[in-house]
Amino acid sequence: MPELPEIEVIRRGLQLHLPGRRIEAVFHNGKALRHEVPLKDMQKVLVGSTIREVGRRAKFLLLHFEAGAVLIIHLGMTGRLGLFPSISPLAKHDHIRWRLDKGLDLRFHDTRRFGSVRLLPAGEAEDREATVFSAVGPEPFSEACSAAYLQRQARRKKQPVKTFLMDMKMLAGVGNIYANECLFTPKIHPARPADDLALDEWQRLILELRAILNHAIDCGGSTISDYLNASGKPGYFQVHFKVYGRTGEPCQCCGTPIEKIQLGGRATYFCPSCQQQGAYSNPRG
């Protein structure tokens, strides 16, 4: 599933082409996605409207329209958004088409159909942080996502720190890949209880997370299976992975083989030497 860097790369790509474009028609092939496709509402609200900008919240893409409506798109596991000439043939899994002016389509392609599209009219769009995103934590790059914030949220939470980082209620947009990667440099074992981390460790962790996310965005994201950016090209951050998917390979720092365990049902990778589970005090407060 695309994580924050992949969605941000897609957002930036679409931002180069969509603002100022007008929706002329909306089509749906009738196949169900994760949620019911609001075809009639989109035809009523969006046709004739102009796209103002492309935003992102967590792993969601937001198309903002001049009249105030917002289209919220989640790509699920295999979803893609791309721009195509309107006369080009449809692919098998092109489920939704937004016909734009100047002979272009914005197309939503989703092989497994776990993605979703939601339309918020102007009045509802203004309150989206209190409604649609009420259970979504702060963005990793925001001032609200500080070491102090993370430590407060982690108080009395015995869950593994990696699982904590992937909890969308605590932190927006961090999935399995980047939760694994950001724990390596601060030498934090992924199974360590979240409430055991001291403030300075949270500080190192959030700085590392931001650095990794920025690097991944610069690389165009990570391509593991289905991810393609807005131009239909894969990302290449995966060549920089330090632990993710490297089971049995030597640690780049000490040479110890990378190990893999399951945490919260997700594959978890770490260096047992650099990220020793017992090599910490037990600070609380």
Residues 156 and 120 in one domain: no
> How many Å apart are CA 250 and CA 130, to the nearest integer?
46
Residues 19 and 92 in one domain: yes
pLDDT score at 10 = 86
CATH code at position 62: 3.20.190.10
Residues 264 and 160 in one domain: yes
Burial of 222 (0-12, 13-18, 19+ CB in 10 A): buried
Q: Is 59 labeled as catalytic in the residue annotation?
A: yes
Q: Is 129 labeled as catalytic in the residue annotation?
A: no
Residues 105 and 191 in one domain: no
Q: 3, 6, 139, 201: which one is catalytic?
A: 3
Residues 108 and 223 in one domain: no
Tens digits of residue pLDDT in 131-144 = 999 999 999 999 99
Nearest partner of 30 among 93, 95, 111, 112, judged by Cα:
95
Structural domain contains residue 222: yes
Give the end of a domain, one of 95, 125, 155: 125
Give the end of a domain, one of 91, 125, 159: 125
Q: 2, 5, 160, 190: which one is catalytic?
A: 2
Residues 121 and 192 in one domain: no
103: left (phi over 0), alpha (psi -120 to 50) or beta: left
Structural domain contains residue 236: yes
Neighbour count for residue 129 (Cβ, 10 Å):
10
Residues 119 and 8 in one domain: yes
pTM of the model: 0.85
**Number of domains present in the structure of the chain:** 2
pLDDT score at 278 = 63
Tell me the residue range of the domain where 111 lies: 4-125
> How many Å apart are CA 235 and CA 82, to the nearest integer?
15
Q: Is 2 labeled as catalytic in the residue annotation?
A: yes
Structural domain contains residue 172: yes
Any residues with CB less than 8 A from the CB of 237 and at least 6 apart, and which? 5, 215, 216, 219, 220, 221, 222
Residues 61 and 171 in one domain: no
Q: Is 126 labeled as catalytic in the residue annotation?
A: no
226: left (phi over 0), alpha (psi -120 to 50) or beta: alpha
CATH code at position 249: 1.10.8.50
Low-confidence ranges of the chain (pLDDT < 50): 221-239, 279-285
pLDDT score at 220 = 62
Neighbour count for residue 4 (Cβ, 10 Å):
25
Residues 260 and 153 in one domain: yes
Structural domain contains residue 87: yes
pLDDT score at 239 = 47
Structural domain contains residue 141: no
pLDDT score at 285 = 32
Q: 128, 157, 266, 272: which one is catalytic?
A: 266
pLDDT score at 224 = 37
Residue 216 host element (H or E): helix 199-218
Structural domain contains residue 16: yes
Structural domain contains residue 214: yes
Residues 90 and 189 in one domain: no
Residues 165 and 199 in one domain: yes
99: left (phi over 0), alpha (psi -120 to 50) or beta: beta
pLDDT score at 82 = 86
Structural domain contains residue 116: yes
Burial 190-218, CB ≥16 within 10 A → b, else e: bbbbbbbbbeebbbbbbebbeebbeebbe
Q: 56, 59, 118, 246: which one is catalytic?
A: 59
Residues 47 and 87 in one domain: yes
The secondary structure of 127-155 as a DSSP string is: TTTTTTTTT----TTSTTS-HHHHHHHHT
- Coil, helix or strand for 114? coil
Any residues with CB less than 8 A from the CB of 254 and at least 6 apart, and which? 271, 273, 274
Q: Helix crossing, 147-154 with 199-218: angle to 10°?
A: 120
Q: Is 54:64 a contact under the CB 8 Å cutoff?
A: yes
